[in-house]
Amino acid sequence: MKAAKTKPPILKYFLFSLSISFLLLFLFFSLQPRPFISQTQTLLTTTTNHPSSSAVSSSEDLRIRPGYTSYDSYIQRQLNKTLNPKLRKIWTTRDWDRKIQVFSRFFHELKHQNLLSNASKSLCIGARVGQEVEALKRVGISDSVGIDLVPCPPLVINGDFHNQPFDNETFDFEFSNVFDHALYPQKFVAEIERTLKPDGVCVLHVALARRADKYSANDLYSVKPLVLLFQRSQLVRVRKVDGFGLDTEVVFRKKNMIQRS
């Protein structure tokens, strides 16, 4: 009988190397981390009612604090701070001029960078007693107003930032340093984009390097969730600031969908 033919050694080595290559490629792709977007895609869900806070807390970089049994209990906790007589006295006396000076410097810089002008119709979100609004007026932006759960006339009117009391596309500029107080970050951002005009600018001061105060409803660990939440806006810049315990300034510009279509 004829002896069975054996495969040449070089062919054996080739087939063996090819098998190992396919195995390594399979392992490489299977072990790749999931993209960030998949971890935070629940943040992008919009509903007619308030989104689920548990959905947002699934994000590694934006976590809703537990303990709120209802929206009313959340509002009451925020009012406990806003109506605190000792805090209100500090805000309207010792802190008044100091905070106006700091806010004025921020707004002057934004004007210099063409992100704000004297003609900008402006809103300050969660303005407490209105230092931000007064600062805007002092640097020349006369058409400015603030909203808060507790009004402080004439600078601040009553309003819930989860449901702003304004028509669509009302403002050219919106500023807030209370993002950490939003129980529903999606709704907070959606209301900004609803009431901001096309090409309008939103400036947020947030805390990334340190945790916010005991009345905060969420903790933010990077700007990535903000970029995902601002679905109708373009990120303009991120920079470090020193803003009363808040260390990062994030600027967005609402897209002009008519021009882009």
Q: Angle 236-240-241 (CA atoms, 0-180°, nearest 5)?
A: 110
Which has the higher per-residue pLDDT, 25 or 44? 25
> If you average pLDDT over residues 159-171, what whole number do you get?
98
Helix (H) or strand (E) holding 237: strand 233-243
Predicted pLDDT at 10? 61
**Cβ–Cβ < 8 Å for 226, 204:** yes
Residue-level pLDDT at 210: 72
Alpha helical stretches, state H, 176-241: 185-195, 224-229
pLDDT at 42: 34
pLDDT confidence of residue 243: 82
pLDDT in tens, 243-252: 888 999 999 9
Q: What's phi and psi for 187, nearest 5 deg?
A: -70, -40
pLDDT bracket for residue 41 (50, 70, 90): very low
Residues recorded for the chain: 261
pLDDT at 239: 95
Q: Residue 19 — very low, low, confident or very high, per pLDDT cuts 50/70/90?
A: low
